[in-house]
Structure 1
Amino acid sequence: MKTILVTGASSGMGYRIAHNLAAAGYQVFGAARHVDRMEPLKTVGVIPLQLDVTDEASRTAAVHQLIQRAHRIDAVVNAAGYGSFGAQETVIDAEAKQQFEVNVFGLMALTRLVLPYMRKQQSGRIINISSMAGRFSSPMAGWYFASKHALETLSDSLRMEVRRFGIKVILIEPGVVKSRWEAIAMQHLQQSAAGTAYEAQARAMQRNMDHTYASKHASHPELIARTVQKALESKHPRARYLIGYLAKPTVWGTQFLPTALKDWLIPKFM
């Protein structure tokens, strides 16, 4: 039985990933700050772990508990993360740093803790939940997009570093997925923009984002969970899985547009 650690397992994509993998027969440790929210996952065999990815002691304790019980770790699905939107002029330093602490530094620190076990096994998979945001840029969301760009670059570098140990590094890049993520991102956006020159722009962005995420076309977290399982079970997984509503047309379109056209089009799209 392969042992999988899924972070961010208390809600959204992380919850669905942990649920589906446990139901498929994997030994799944679901990790999150709010352990009580993972209680329903116990019915399919998920083992809850308390984990704050930004806290060194919490990270060390979670990995220690997993190894003590399972004696190995075959994969980590780094699904913990959040979006904090706002204009760069209005986002305070503490919030910008927190965005990177969760989405980049905490994620990579946890990954460093499991790599020695995977090297010893000469096998393992690191699956990082990134975003289509890691492939282009947007106004009013610079710090979030920057955190995903950083995760993409670090994952590419790590993939080349550890492949000789039998470890594969995989990026999942979702588009629009129904979850609490959008509501949290928009809350941060409105808080940072209130009373500033960006307030009207923030309101317009929220209207558009609310409409997009409420669309019947928005993807369900189930799609992400199925893709993660595919990446786990494929003999030769892809380095990137760009999936979900609007992901491919958005990324492919922005790759080939001139910069001036992107600067005009993307704010309208967002």
Structure 2
Amino acid sequence: MTDADESPATADDAAGVETRHKDVCIVTGSSSGIGQATAARFLAEDWVVYATARDEADVADLADAGCRTAELDVTDGEQVEAVVDRVIDEQGQVDCVVNNAGFAQFGPLEDVTTESVERQFDVNAFGPHRLARAVLPHMREACDGTIVNVSSVVGELSLPGSGAYAGSKAAVESMSDALRAEVEEFGVDVVVVAPGPVDSEFYDRADDELASTAQRSGAYEDIYELYDDAASMGGFGPASIGPTVVADAIVNAASATDPAPRYPVGPVAKYAGLAQFVPKRVRDRLFSLARRLFA
């Protein structure tokens, strides 16, 4: 090969100039809402993006935009391993994993079956654990990487009728805190992004789950009415934020050299964090008052 035939990349290597590789991320639950917005935002920042969903056809628009896509059910350990192996084979690195896939199983806990609670935790809590275990050997070897776990305002503040969902998000928060301390020495960051209500299809699915899985005892109709009212407004109306707001927080955390441990997103999330300083007995009384006022 003559000098004229030499590619620019090869010439840089020969001159001792390090070739910069793009950062690589995996985003779960990319079919809509936060996941879709996050994949698009990473792509706009010139990352190599693997947008995943249970049905790969649901991320076809992201593929057209330039994302790589993959079928991924986070409850399937073999699929998790296969997706991570594919990314390593194709890119040689994973710089960020965004554990966004999830859903909400609402309903009073007496009315929610144990099987439904198990499915809630399998997706929302065990899914992020599966992804973390799959990517951490590669991140530790590289001494770099960020795991972003998408939680919720209810991860710190559980409300009547949200016990299963709040429990799964509280588990995500606790595991994230432990994991952060465990992997810090390897140069890996663990971040929780906790939005308040988001204007997306999330609440439509939550309403469907509530209708199909709850076994109504008849004792909690006031709670169901509150959730029916919220669903009819598409969530929490003016208090909701757009998915892109959450996506911006996720990408900023993934790009930071020293990210914060937790990012509350939106006014509801930021102000609700103050509720942890209110004694639980007082909170219980406030919940009881709210049920009487809105019944």
TM-score category (smaller protein): over 0.9
Match of 2:253 among 231, 254, 268: 231
Q: What corresponds to 2:47 in structure 1?
A: 26
Q: Does 1:140 align with 2:161?
A: yes
Secondary structure class of the residue paired with 2:51 = strand
**How far did residue 213 of structure 1 move?**
2.4
- In 1: Cα distance, 2:139 partner to 2:195 partner: 26
Q: Is 1:82–1:185's contact at 8 Å kept on the other side of the alignment?
A: yes
Name the amino acid aligned to 1:198: Y
Match of 1:257 among 251, 270, 278: 278
**How far did residue 67 of structure 1 move?**
1.3
Could you list the runs of 4 or more consecutive aligned residues of structure 1 that deviate by over 6 angstroms after TM superposition?
none
Question: Could you tell me the TM-score, scaled by structure 2's length?
Answer: 0.86
Between 189-198 and 58-67, report the one with greater CA deviation: 189-198
**How far did residue 261 of structure 1 move?**
2.2
Deviation digits for residues 114-144 of structure 1 (CA, Å, limit 9, x no counterpart): 0000011010000000111111111111111
Q: Does 1:48 align with 2:85?
A: no
**How far did residue 212 of structure 1 move?**
7.2
Identical columns (%): 34
Structure 1: gaps (5+ residues): none
Q: Is 2:26–2:96's contact at 8 Å kept on the other side of the alignment?
A: yes
Q: What corresponds to 1:155 in structure 2?
A: 176
Name the amino acid aligned to 2:152: S
Q: Does 1:83 align with 2:94?
A: no
Structural mapping, 1:1-270, within 5 Å: 1-191=22-212, 192-194=214-216, 196-208=218-230, 210-211=232-233, 213=235, 215-252=237-274, 254-266=275-287, 268=290
Q: How many residues align?
A: 269
Cα RMSD between the aligned structures? 1.8
Q: Is 1:51–1:58's contact at 8 Å kept on the other side of the alignment?
A: yes
**How far did residue 5 of structure 1 move?**
0.5
Secondary structure class of the residue paired with 1:139 = coil
Secondary structure class of the residue paired with 2:237 = coil
Deviation digits for residues 47-89 of structure 1 (CA, Å, limit 9, x no counterpart): 0011010011111111111111111111101111110011111
